[in-house]
Chain A
Amino acid sequence: AQKVTQAQTEISVVEKEDVTLDCVYETRDTTYYLFWYKQPPSGELVFLIRRNSFDEQNEISGRYSWNFQKSTSSFNFTITASQVVDSAVYFCALIRGGYSSASKIIFGSGTRLSIRP
């Protein structure tokens, strides 16, 4: 069975602080994909990043960075110099790879991030 755990239910920081959102996943597949989505109050899920199981390189995109470690089954997300606009619920997610049927996304329960001015 596959599972994604986001142990941090809510995080609140002051603007300009760095913040890390934790994600731990479980899967027996050798090929899989990990995602982070952002959900602002409007409700739409915004795609942030996709990472496949064979690529453990960390990635940086502006103020966002991701640390993928297969040894600990973790895919953590760091926002540097946080801004009020970063306030949202963030979801970590997992999907099986390959050409099997039903590429359903397994979502974590989400972390609500509040950035205080």
Chain B
Amino acid sequence: ETGVTQSPTHLIKTRGQQVTLRCSSQSGHNTVSWYQQALGQGPQFIFQYYREEENGRGNFPPRFSGLQFPNYSSELNVNALELDDSALYLCASSLQGWGQETQYFGPGTRLLVL
């Protein structure tokens, strides 16, 4: 086990609603990255937080937003949910926000938007 936890494990929402997903990073890690994995595809980078600041963002609209807290846990918020937001959302923690640091993943949250 990586020590990265995510909650909830599963979630069902309807189109237009808002959702908050949570992630606790591995002890000692100050960087959290979020990924979206649609069915049958590889994960896609959403954004990364390093010491409570957004450190980079992938090609996702502004309705995807995040936070990182002083204890380095993190939240992913998605507003105005669309059917295509149905996916597995993975968070990963790493020691630093640099490329050479291995990212360790949590078990993910499966979101279904109806």
* Given A103-B48, A109-B42, 8 additional A-B pairs, CB 8 A: A4-B42, A33-B100, A46-B105, A47-B105, A52-B100, A102-B45, A103-B101, A104-B58
Which A residues fall within an 8 A CB radius of B? Answer: 4, 31-33, 35, 37, 42-47, 50, 52, 91, 93, 95-110
Of B17-25, B69-77, B78-86, B90-98, the stretch lying at the interface with chain A is B90-98
Closest to B6 in A: A44
Asked if A43 and B110 make an inter-chain contact with CB atoms under 8 angstroms apart, the answer reads yes
Q: In the complex, which of the residues A43, A104, A105 contacts B88, with contact meaning CB atoms closer than 8 Å?
A: A43
What is the total of A-B residue contacts with beta carbons within 8 Å? 82
- Find chain B residues with CB under 8 A from A107 CB: 42-44
Confirm or deny: B68 has a beta carbon within 8 angstroms of a beta carbon on chain A: no
Q: Check B30 for interface membership: any CB of A closer than 8 A.
A: no
B99 at the interface (CB under 8 A from A): yes
Residues of chain B within 8 A of A45, CB atoms compared: 43, 90, 92, 105
| Chain A residues whose C-beta falls within 8 Å of the C-beta of B33 in the assembled complex | 103-105
Residues of B within 8 A of A42 (CB): 107
Q: Are A102 and B43 in contact (CB under 8 A)?
A: no
Identify the closest chain B residue to A52 (Cβ): B100
The answer to whether A108 touches B97 (Cβ under 8 A) is: no
Task: Tell me if B104 and A102 are in contact (CB < 8 A).
Answer: no
A50 touches B45 (CB 8 A): no
